[in-house]
Amino acid sequence: MKAVSFSPANHCNLKLQKNPIKQPILANPTHFNNHQNQKPSNKKHQFPSFSIKASKSPQTPLTKNPDTPPLVVVGSANADIYVEIDRLPIEGETISAKTGQTLAGGKGANQAACGAKLSYPTYFVGQVGDDAHGRLITEALKNGGVNLDCVRNLSDAPTGHAVVMLQPDGQNSIIIVGGANMSCWPEKLSDEDLEVVRKAGVVLLQREIPDLVNIQVAKAARSAGVPVILDDGGMDAPMPPELLNEVDIFSPNESELARLTRMSTESFEQIGQAVVKCHKMGVKQVLVKLGAKGSALFIEGEKPIKQPIISAARVLDTTGAGDTFTAAFAVALVEGKTKEECMRFAAAAASLCIQVKGAIPSMPDRTSVLHLLQTV
């Protein structure tokens, strides 16, 4: 992959290519059984769509539409070092892992991979080191159909990595080393750097890159009328109010919501009270990921929308499930679906994700998601 830079002398030219990577999208879409009156999108482009209507076998004729505004993911890329253990070690203890392997991951890369796997044109904007881990990640994303024109290779910082301690029940504990994700970003992104953001259909952010970068990207997107979704996963530093004010949908899990608001989130009522505090902080829509309890979307002034989990046949690895949920929600949103449909589509994608080990390797394709939605 050709290296590009955000520096003034050699910036990443984020203009959409005349002949961008063409992702397959669904043709001749039909609609959900329970959706009768589709609200028109305020975007001027015609979005691709998905369906779970009558047919018992998914119909997936493919076409290509280079004018579709892409999903743009600005975020992290990590080499995930997996170790499978029976239990977490206690203080001062050394234990042996049953197996270990290194796979491409990072919240930004995961979400970009998911968007492309769901047959939506997807750009990834991020940084990797000029090393073996960086090549592992870019190769995985490239093979998945993600546009990497805006990925920068750094010679003076290693690729970020994470140690993922995976237990037999599929639950994990993760330690992140920021590396290139947190290094060498310019203090100010140029207008040219931000052009792809302004031309996006939706922008996804996470907190594994500097807040300064996220704030600039969010402002550029909002100024162009592009919706911004912020996944709160990543650093545990305080949330800058300036960032929350530029976000359309804020998506934490229960622990992240508790950390931000300093309120208990053990019950649904407590979660609702914590969300009210988020509304007062400036974000009007809060999409809370509740693990085994599903998810809930809180829109200020409206009744919460609850989505239960779609049960998985087996749970092998929950790594990447939240990223899959967020990215699938974003794809459905940019395709003009209702919030209820977005959440159901995302729940199905997350259900498939946790049945496969690894983050990027576990991302489901669109056909599999639609098939699952037809069976539940």
Digit-coded pLDDT (tens) for 211-256: 999 999 999 999 999 999 999 988 888 899 999 999 999 999 999 9
Secondary structure element (H or E) that encloses residue 207, with its range: strand 202-207
pLDDT score of 350 more than 50? yes
Per the structure block, which two tokens stand in for 302?
């409206």
Look up residue 4 and give its two tokens: 């590009």
> Is residue 169 assigned to a domain?
no
At residue 65 the predicted structure's pLDDT band, cuts being 50, 70 and 90, is low
pLDDT of residue 10 exceeding 50, the answer is no
92-147 pLDDT per residue, tens: 999 999 999 999 999 999 999 999 999 999 999 999 999 999 999 999 999 999 99
Residue 268 lies in a domain: yes
Query: Distance (Å, rounded) from C-alpha 294 to C-alpha 222?
Result: 29
Chain-centroid distance of CA 371 in Å reads 22
Q: Is 346 inside any structural domain?
A: yes
Please give the pLDDT value at position 266. Answer: 95
Q: Please tell me the predicted confidence (pLDDT) of residue 66.
A: 67
Is 35 among the domain residues? no
* Residue 239 in domain: yes
- Mean model confidence pLDDT for the chain: 84
Residues belonging to the binding site for ATP are: 253, 289-294, 322-323
Question: Considering its fold, how many domains does the chain have in total?
Answer: 1
Quote the CA–CA distance of 295 and 251 in Å, as a whole number: 10
Query: Percent of the chain having pLDDT more than 70?
Result: 82
Asked whether residue 324 is domain-assigned, the answer is: yes
Compute the average pLDDT of residues 1-11.
38
Binding site residues, as ranges?
78-80, 106-110, 208, 253, 289-294, 317, 319, 322-323, 353, 356, 358, 362
248 counts as catalytic: no
What residue numbers does the annotated binding site for substrate cover? 78-80, 106-110, 208, 323
The mean pLDDT value for 150-177 works out to 91
**Token pair listed for 282:** 């400036």
Q: What CATH number should be reported for the domain holding residue 271?
A: 3.40.1190.20
pLDDT digits (tens, 9 = 90+) for 13-49: 333 333 343 433 333 333 434 333 433 344 433 333 4
Tokens describing residue 140 = 């995985």
Q: What mean pLDDT comes out for the span 71-86?
A: 94
Which residues constitute the domain of residue 135?
A: 71-75+107-157+185-375
Average pLDDT over every residue of 285-310: 96
Query: Does residue 278 belong to any structural domain of this protein?
Result: yes
- Whether residue 168 lies inside any domain: the answer is no
3-state secondary structure of 79: strand
CA-to-CA distance for 49 and 61, rounded, in angstroms?
Answer: 12
* Residues paired with residue 81 on neighbouring β-strands, in sequence order: 102, 163
Nearest alpha carbon to residue 76 among 214, 187, 172, 188: 214
For residues 184-201, give the mean pLDDT. 90
Residue with the larger pLDDT of the pair 56 and 198: 198
Binding site feature residues for K(+): 317, 319, 353, 356, 358, 362
pLDDT of residue 240: 94
Interval 42-59 mean pLDDT? 38
Contact in structure between 98 and 86 (CB atoms under 8 Å):
yes
Q: Which of 149, 193, 248, 323 is catalytic?
A: 323
On whether the CB atoms of residues 116 and 173 are closer than 8 A, the answer is no
